[in-house]
């Protein structure tokens, strides 16, 4: 590690050769030294070695001041960039790690891919939600056979405009819980049939509330083959 003033004076050839080699050595070592190189000009980048091998400082001289760009730890073989606006490439990092809490700075945490998002606590830790965690309610399209995508609408409702059948949910995952609010329209007395994939208490499908505008709420758990009823609440006033 060395520095040079980058001023090659008129001199004998042996001295010139030595002076030139010293300048090249300074370039090759990134102008490393315990203080700014004497020949630094605006734009000079140099390594401040005064902090020792665990805290080399990469600096940029702007003509007046030295701006610290990052800290180089040659023992841990790491670089900590000083500017918090530096963007790191985590797209190609298959195992990124955090040294502290993840602060999204008021932004939403959004995944735009079709892959799963899995939260696995460390050891015996728990996943804690300090604010409400919920599935937005989705209105299913009323039809002779009502389609239900359990992945896109795990919490769903449907208003019956005639006698209907609830089709088998699609995209179910074993262990998944879903709920469905069945609402009578302004006429009421609508009858609902269920696909055979739904399994009810005592193996008997429920009789819906027939009063206009009232609702019945059902909760199911998927076991990989059947949607098992785990709860119902009938004759609900919704407004």
pLDDT 10s digits, 75-103: 989 888 887 565 667 777 777 777 788 88
Per-residue pLDDT at 3: 84
- Per-residue model confidence as pLDDT tens digits over 187-237: 999 999 999 999 998 999 999 999 999 999 999 999 999 999 999 999 999
Q: Would you say how long the chain is, in residues? A: 239
CA separation for the pair 198, 221 (Å, rounded) = 10
The mean pLDDT of 104-117, rounded to a whole number, is 81
Which of 79, 35, 86 has the alpha carbon at shortest distance from 61? 35
């Amino acid at each position: 590690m060395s520095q040079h003033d980058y001023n090659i004076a008129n001199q004998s050839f042996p001295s010139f050769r030595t002076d030139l080699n010293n300048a090249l050595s300074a370039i090759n070592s990134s102008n490393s030294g315990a203080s700014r190189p004497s020949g630094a000009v605006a734009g000079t980048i140099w390594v401040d070695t005064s902090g020792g091998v665990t805290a080399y400082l990469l600096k940029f001289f702007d003509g007046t001041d030295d701006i610290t760009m990052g800290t180089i730890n040659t023992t841990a073989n790491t670089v900590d960039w000083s500017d918090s606006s530096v963007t790191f490439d985590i797209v190609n990092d298959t195992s990124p790690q955090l040294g502290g809490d993840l602060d999204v700075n008021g932004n939403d945490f959004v995944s735009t891919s079709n892959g799963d998002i899995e939260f696995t606590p460390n050891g015996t830790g728990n996943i804690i939600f300090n604010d409400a965690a919920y599935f937005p309610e989705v209105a299913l399209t009323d039809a002779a056979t009502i389609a239900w995508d359990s992945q896109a609408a795990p919490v769903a409702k449907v208003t019956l405009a005639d006698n209907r059948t609830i089709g088998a949910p699609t995209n179910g995952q074993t262990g998944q819980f879903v709920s469905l609010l069945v609402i009578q329209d302004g006429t009421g007395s609508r009858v609902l049939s269920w696909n055979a994939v739904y399994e009810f208490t005592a193996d008997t499908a429920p009789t819906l509330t027939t009063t206009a505008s009232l609702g019945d709420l059902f909760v199911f758990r998927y076991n990989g083959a059947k949607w098992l009823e785990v709860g119902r609440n009938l004759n609900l006033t919704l407004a």
